[in-house]
Amino acid sequence: MRFSIMIVLSLISLSVAGQQKLNSVLVDKISAMFEEDQKWRTEYNKINFDEKSDFNENTINKKLAETDSINLQLAKEIINKYGFPGYSLVGSEGSNKFWSIIQHCDDDLAFQKKVLLLMDNEVKRKNASASNNAMLRDRVLVSEGKKQIYGTQVRYNAALKKSQPFPIENPDQVDSRRKSVGLSTLAEYLKLFNR
């Protein structure tokens, strides 16, 4: 009886030790960064689609640049203190929001590359999104002037009046690579941009 109680208590303590509590302060910080990031991108999209905005284009561009600059510095602080914030630290929503902020740190390619390496490790541990990781990898490759792997980075072709992916490595195999990280087919993905 005493032995079985000890086993049960050991199992309970191992279970509790395996459950990490999310860092709520960091979750809130990332959420605030993400809200500001999305606010100005939403306003930017309104202007581009001839919708009404409470802000003029110059104000939106200025605020967007300011927000990206501030978020870059805050993201660096987070990376230096915690590494890439995965699910165990900030939950899936917090981790995805942080990744989105990193996607917009295009002014510091070296930093994006550093984050990509850290995120690679978290994906291997199933502690971050493989599809988000694929998008960041493509973004870094395109910024370096290289062919992307998953076809996630697109640009608008004014002559054809539709969005097309930047050049892709071995394009005939892109859908199998996309599937391996949980992405839809390239054709389905491009429909989102060409509605």
Q: Dump the DSSP string for 53-67.
A: -SS-HHHHHHHHHHH
Residues paired with 164 in a beta bridge: 155
Distances (CA, A) of 43 to 48, 78, 100, 127: 9, 27, 17, 32
pLDDT of residue 194: 80
Please report, for residues 6, 29, 194, the alpha-carbon distance to residue 163 in angstroms, rounded to integers and kept in the order given: 63, 34, 6
Q: How far apart are CA 133 and CA 131, in angstroms?
A: 5
CA–CA gap between residue 170 and residue 151 (Å, rounded)? 10
Span of 24-38, 41-55, 120-134 with lowest mean pLDDT: 41-55
Average the pLDDT over each of 2-6, 129-133, 148-152, 162-166 and give the range with the smallest value.
2-6
CA distances in angstroms from 39 to 45, 73, 102, listed in the order given: 10, 18, 16
pLDDT reading at 75 higher than 50:
yes
Q: Retrieve residue 187's tokens.
A: 């054709």
144 class by beta-carbon count within 10 Å (0-12 exposed, 13-18 middle, 19+ buried): exposed
Residue 186: its pLDDT value, please? 96
**pLDDT confidence of residue 19:** 52
Q: How far apart are CA 192 and CA 195, in angstroms?
A: 6
Average pLDDT, whole number, for the chain? 90
Q: How far is CA 148 from CA 76, 88, 188, in A?
A: 25, 29, 18
**Average pLDDT of the residues in 84-89:** 98
Residue 21 corresponds to which tokens in the numbers above?
């509590």
Burial of 195 by CB count in 10 Å (0-12 exposed, 13-18 middle, 19+ buried)?
exposed
- pLDDT by residue (tens digit) across 151-171? 999 998 888 888 899 999 999
Q: Which two tokens stand for residue 61?
A: 């561009």
Q: What's the pLDDT score for residue 12?
A: 45
Q: What is the tens place of the pLDDT at every residue in 8-27? A: 444 444 444 445 699 999 99
- At CA 105, angle to CA 141 and CA 40, rounded to 5? 125
Q: What is the pLDDT of residue 15?
A: 40
